[in-house]
Amino acid sequence: MAAVLTAMSPFLVGYHPSFGMFLIFFLVSYPYKVGKNIYGIFGGFATEGNSYALLGIIQAAKYDAIQVCGVSLYQKAGEDASQVFGLSLYQYAGRDAAQMFGISLCQYAGNSVGQFIGISLYQEGAGLDGRAMHRHFYLSTSKV
């Protein structure tokens, strides 16, 4: 679904590429399943394993959801959800949720949440050790 919407985006802004360009863009943006894991440029939904994305937009995984950079609208993982660089609107993890650099609007985790450098508006981590870890430049609100 994400690959189809992404491939259709040039049409929405008035640009009409050739069929070959459309096909190449679709094949590049499609989330591929290798074993039990999903690998994609823009994310994907893994019902059995992990989800890995370079520029993740939407990710859901039974175990881990890992994104390198970009705008993450929704990231949900049964175990760990992590983003290296970017904007994260909603992150939910059964165990740990982490973001290295960027802006995080909402992070929930069953164990611990973390933001290394950036802005975090709301973090909640409750579980075995129930800790909220953050080192921010500007704004942070945490509930443990």
User: What are the tens digits of pLDDT across the range 40-89?
Assistant: 888 788 878 898 888 888 888 999 999 988 888 899 999 999 999 989 99
pLDDT at 137: 40
* Domain range annotation of the chain: 1-30, 32-143
Residues in the chain: 144
**Burial tier of 140 (Cβ tally within 10 Å: 0-12, 13-18, 19+):** middle
Q: Is 78 helix (H, G, I), strand (E, B) or coil?
A: coil
What percentage of residues in the chain have a pLDDT greater than 90? 19
| pTM for the model | 0.72
